[in-house]
Amino acid sequence: MAELGLRLRCRFVSICGIGLFCAAAFAGGPQRIQSSDGQPDDDFGYGLASAADRLLIGARLADDPGTGSGAAYVFERSPADGSWEEITKISSPTGSAWDLFGRSLSLHGNSVLIGSPGDDEADWNSGAVYVYEENGGEWEQQQKLIPNDPQNNPGFALELAGEGNFAVAGARRDSTLGFYVGSAYVLERDQQSGLWAQAAKLDPSDARPSGQFGYAVAISQERVVVGAPFHSALAGRAYVYRLERDGSWIEEQILNPAGVRPGTSFGASVAIHGQEIAVSTNEPAIYLFQLRGRAWKMKQVLRLTGAGPGQRAIAALDFGETRLVVGDPDANGFSGAVHVYGRAAVDTPWHFLELLEGVEPLGAFGAAVLGTDQELFVTELDGDGVSSASGVVWSYSQ
């Protein structure tokens, strides 16, 4: 473990006192998670999904069997010591070059959804989502989902998020309503048959060319959030959709807070947990919203500090009841960082807790993050000290 401590450094700030929030940082670990057959430039860790004691990691550029065809790895937690062990590898079923299988992931118990945005079955780079299920310890393909209106290079499944019987796939380059306006597709699993199908296509009510609606997606309970960071001279937008009783999805609200300037790409990353939404800008900052009555109101703005100056893209967001994690891979000259915030309860403010910083030059630490209140996963795409590394995922526990 001493070697791991040398590879990553962190600063910890505790906020304690009478009537104030006091929380421990992610002090346990980190455990290094890598594929058993990693090759240079696999981008292992670009996609992350977890549920209970199972972890799914995508390697979108893995060359097995074709160049950049992609793969996904299933890990499970060892009951003996709690470490993560590789169980199986799911390779691209087509093996076609640049399918990017594993670019996006969603885990639903014994079912997994794997995005393959470069799939060419319906059209060039039209994209697909594959459904796999575990059967007696083996992972078998059950379905291949293609949009009902496939297009040339729409970016379908570049982003994927899921919860329960629903998932949402972004298609940022969909040009149905104009050049690169974008769209998002809601996928639903039938509770009786267990089969997935397209339930709805989401389009922005204020569509703009090159807005790239669907650049980021998130889902929680009966709501979907979609980011369009290039809308309105790159000021950006985020859109909230709500599931109605008749099964339709309606646009509930457009998030466009005052003070967001052109060029700051509001909506490049989005996350939702219950009745709270987090949206990034490249200022860099995180805007927090809370549902009050029937409207989403801005609750707090977190301005990221301590990881180098200047505007930069926030690659990933995730949060729960008491932890919010922000992936900042462009920080510190692209070595990267992860900002960790905490709070005592839902109705209390977020406070800075910890800054984890990558030490590898150009390592892109924080390219993907996945956090719960007890555990944190962080991707470092070039985590072996060379620019052609296969990628590594670090696991921290509280």
pLDDT at residue 15 tops 50: no
Closest CA to 268 of 394, 350, 111, 159: 159
Region of residue 267 (left: phi > 0; alpha: psi -120 to 50; beta: else):
left
Work out the pLDDT band at 28, boundaries 50, 70, 90.
Answer: low
Residue 213's contacts (CB-CB under 8 Å, 6 or more residues apart) are 172, 174, 181, 182, 183, 184, 203, 204, 207, 226, 227, 228, 231, 237, 239
Q: Which residue has the higher pLDDT, 9 or 192?
A: 192
pLDDT confidence of residue 119 = 96
In percent, the amount of the chain with pLDDT more than 90 equals 78
Cα angle 245, 114, 255 (rounded to 5 degrees) comes to 50
Query: Dihedrals φ, ψ of 262, to 5°?
Result: -55, 140
**Residue-level pLDDT at 335:** 92
- Band (pLDDT 50/70/90 cuts) for residue 259 is confident
Banded pLDDT at 315 (limits 50, 70, 90):
confident
Cα atoms in the 13 Å half-sphere on the side-chain side of 397: 8
Looking at residue 159, its pLDDT comes to 97
Instruction: Please tell me the least confidently modeled range out of 307-316, 360-369, 381-390.
Output: 381-390
pLDDT at 385 over 90: no
- 9 pLDDT band (50/70/90 cuts)? very low
0.85 cut: is pTM over it?
Answer: yes
Give per-residue pLDDT as tens, 102-151: 999 999 989 999 999 999 999 999 999 999 999 988 999 999 999 999 99
- In the DSSP assignment, the letter for residue 4 is H
- Output the pLDDT for position 8: 42
Q: What's the average model confidence in pLDDT over 24-52?
A: 86
281 has pLDDT over 90: yes
Pick the closest to residue 174 from 140, 143, 207, 223 (CA basis).
207
Structural domain boundaries in the chain: 1-33+316-398
Q: CA 223: distance to chain centroid?
A: 16
**Cross-strand partners of 107:** 112
Report helix, strand or coil for 48: strand
Please determine, for residue 394, whether its predicted confidence score (pLDDT) is greater than 70.
yes
Identify which of 112, 90, 101, 98 has the alpha carbon closest to the alpha carbon of residue 60: 101
Identify residue 352 by its one-letter amino acid code: F
pLDDT tens-digit series, residues 88-100: 999 999 999 999 9
pLDDT of residue 10: 42
Contact (CB, 8 A) for 262 and 235: yes
Q: Which residues of 37-68 are buried (b: 16+ CB within 10 A; e: fewer)?
A: ebeebbbbbbbbbbeeebbbbbbbbbbbebeb
> In the sheet where 285-292 sits, what is the strand order?
270-273, 276-281, 285-292, 295-303
